[in-house]
Chains A and B, each alone.
Chain A
Amino acid sequence: MATTLMPGQKRFTPSAILADLTLLAWFVFSLFPIVWLVLLALKTDAEQTTTYFSFSPTLDNFGTVLSDRGEELTSVDFPTALLTSVLNCAGAVLVSLVVGIPAAYAAGRWRFRGSNDLMFTILSFRFAPELMVIVPLFVIYNQIGLFDTTVGMIWVLQLVTMPLVVWILRSYFQDLPEDLEHAALLDGYTRRRAFVMVALPLVRPGIAAATLLAFIFAWNNYIFPLVLSESEASTVTVAITKFLGGGGQAYYNLTAAAAVIAALPPLVLALTIQRYLVRGLSFGAVKS
């Protein structure tokens, strides 16, 4: 384990130690906000504005956030928001996969009239700032009755998830040798079965990566649920901020506890999907 060195690598050279220290510093630096968040979540109301590291930790905040008491304090139904977020994001990712995988395959395999323009259009969803499109979307959503609905949220989140799915998977499909599918066609499989039985299983790592990224991006989205939903379809990202209390008292410790809870679903998803991500690297049996 720790003793496996690359050929020619020495263990304790000055530059190796320096590199390790730099990495450690970076590690602490990037992890600090998370540590701070967790600490804050464990503090009582009285201690919430202190910066001490030593205090008597309590799990009460988590209980408050997840129970009716949180709603009484801030009028936010956090558990419902959590569920809404899961539904919205899972729905958005699912729709993106169902539509995006065939789209990515087509775009990766064939050049058809306008294929480049189409791909660019899909990509452009990502670099148009959300604040730019939100006002017209708000007007449209109000007029056609999609405001504050799950369907509306899933739909608008396609702007976030679809480009990721299509662009990630297109490159996976492009890297697959076409001859694999050709061999299946010659064996008597139809185009569709060659796609389902040959191409699709081989891009599973790509699907896993795209699913994870799309879910995280959708999960973290703030502007769309903030403007396009009120209560029914309001999500955790919006709910968290309510604990900061618009006008009333700010509960930093509750905000932190809510944020910690909100970070769990993507984490769980990442851990579940992880093995598919890694396994993809060990195929490599195709001569290119």
Chain B
Amino acid sequence: MRELALHILDILQNAVEAGATRVALVIVEDVPTDRLVITVRDNGRGMDAQTLAQVTQPFFTSRTTRHVGLGLPLFAAAAERADGQLTIRSQPGVGTTVDVTFTLSHPDRQPLGDMTGTLLAFLLSERTPQLDYQHRVVREGASSVEETDFSFDTADISAALAGLPLTHPAVAQWLAEFLAEGEAELTHVA
């Protein structure tokens, strides 16, 4: 996949498929430490130790419709190419946390890409878990570090909608604009 936002969408889909009702996505672009960290935490069914051990190996999958699992190994490979790594912690019945790190300035790091599209594709899923999203950019200012961030919790959005679905055309359009605006406010590094 050509951008990290596509890998993120894929990991978010894993959480949906694991039956998560809550997902937290945190992206931190930290210039002073030259790190990019992406964390996806869900409260889905989780994995036992045996599954966890196999899951970053290519072609492992628990699905029965298709016998190839690629999402996690592809993301891990993207991280390793940029001097980073992918780590998964998981507990059956509790949930799963996927942490992916990169060297921000690494020439082989893929761009973050279209986060608006990724968030929109996720929020329009048939079963959308509650999403707590935070995207922070930390950079060196004139005298101290400066931080900008875009964050939202879909609980606030759902409350404002009072039962109207996210997929309603007028709502989807509002969402697309809201996400594009929020992401544009960040002075991106990645």
Whether chains A and B associate is no
